[in-house]
């Protein structure tokens, strides 16, 4: 029996005349990778933000590891996000003035870890993602795929139990996209953690165990992928 780590019930979100979420209920089993697909404007990012506690929906609840997060104060939700969740976006939102290892260490430092204790684990994560030797490069001195792997290391260094990714391969060519997905899957579901990834790319979705399709703020399909297609390779 798999554990449900995240569960949303009845999420709605209205932006003026636009119903971005229209009664979405969904649960995620721990240790699985789920792709969220759908046309532009269908509500994918709004759903991801509601699930991750970035934004409180108008109505509905989100439970993480059995506790309701939708009712937490902003400060408590921020702490929960920093300590339990990791984020990877299309543009990695890395700090260009800092080096690769400093960007990763920053996630730990924001949680109160002193810099000298943060650098070691940050360097270990970079090495695990194939970036040994590039620790002291600034972000502008890395390729797009390398920078996304720095973002994955930053999302994971705090021990995040769920990684939320929004178009993590959107700016990459197909070979680099595949490498980044290998890194993302290997560092999450490959270690028993959970991945929720918004993507337009069917080849990214095919690497996940489950594909959820959103249209007009509703889930219109929720299906497992072919077992042969899904999978984790390092
Ligand atoms: N802050 C906002 N204010 C007003 N409308 C918004 C806001 N955020 C999103 N919307 C609208 O809500 C709908 C859903 O947006 P959302 O970003 O969730 O879609 P999406 O499926 O992620 O799209 P894309 O694939 O283009 O990123 C869209 O019609 C969008 O214009």
DSSP string, 187-201: HTGGGT-EEEEE-S-
Ligand 1, atom 27, lies closest to the CA of: 40
**In the beta sheet, which residues pair with residue 225?**
none
Q: What pLDDT is stored for residue 229 in this prediction? A: 47
Helices (H) and strands (E) in the chain, counts: 7, 10
Q: How confident is the model at residue 227 (pLDDT cuts 50, 70, 90)?
A: low
In this predicted complex, what is the ipTM? 0.97
Ligand 1, atom 25, lies closest to the CA of: 40
The 8-class DSSP code of residue 4 comes to: E
What phi and psi values does residue 101 have, to the nearest 5 degrees? -70, -35
**Would strands 33-37 and 194-198 be described as parallel, antiparallel, or unpaired?**
parallel
CA 187 to chain CA centroid, Å, is 11
Distance (angstroms) between ligand 1 centre and the Cα of 7 equals: 22
CB atoms within 10 A of CB 51: 26
Nearest to 157 by CA among 122, 188, 120: 122
Ligand 1, atom 18, lies closest to the CA of: 43
The correct CATH number of 32-42+72-224 out of 3.40.50.1820, 3.40.228.10, 3.40.50.300, 2.120.10.80 is 3.40.50.300
> 142 CB less than 6 Å from ligand 1?
no
Residue-wise pLDDT for 91-123, tens only, equals 768 999 999 999 999 999 998 999 999 999 999
Helix axes 144-156, 174-187, angle to 10 degrees: 10
Ligand 1, atom 6, lies closest to the CA of: 15
Distance (angstroms) between ligand 1 centre and the Cα of 19 equals: 9
Answer whether 201's CB lies under 8 Å from 177's CB.
Answer: yes
């Amino acid at each position: 029996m798999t554990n449900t780590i995240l569960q949303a019930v009845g999420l709605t979100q209205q932006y003026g005349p636009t119903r971005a979420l229209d009664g979405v209920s969904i649960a995620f089993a721990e240790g699985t990778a789920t792709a969220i697909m759908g046309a532009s404007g269908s509500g994918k990012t709004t759903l991801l933000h509601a699930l991750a506690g970035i934004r409180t929906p108008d109505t509905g609840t989100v439970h993480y590891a059995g506790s309701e997060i939708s009712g937490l104060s902003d400060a408590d939700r921020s702490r929960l996000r920093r300590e339990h969740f990791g984020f990877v976006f299309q543009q990695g939102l890395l700090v260009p003035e800092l080096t690769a290892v400093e960007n990763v260490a920053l996630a730990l430092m924001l949680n109160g870890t002193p810099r000298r204790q943060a650098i070691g684990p940050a360097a270990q994560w970079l090495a695990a993602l194939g970036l040994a030797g590039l620790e002291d490069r600034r972000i502008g001195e890395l390729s797009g795929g390398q920078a996304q792997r720095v973002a994955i290391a930053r999302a994971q260094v705090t021990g995040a139990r769920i990684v939320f990714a929004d178009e993590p391969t959107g700016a990459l060519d197909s070979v680099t996209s595949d490498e980044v997905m290998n890194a993302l899957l290997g560092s999450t579901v490959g270690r028993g953690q959970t991945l929720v990834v918004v993507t337009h790319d069917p080849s990214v979705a095919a690497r996940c165990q489950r594909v959820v399709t959103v249209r007009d703020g509703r889930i219109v399909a929720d299906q497992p992928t072919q077992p042969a297609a899904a999978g984790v390779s390092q």
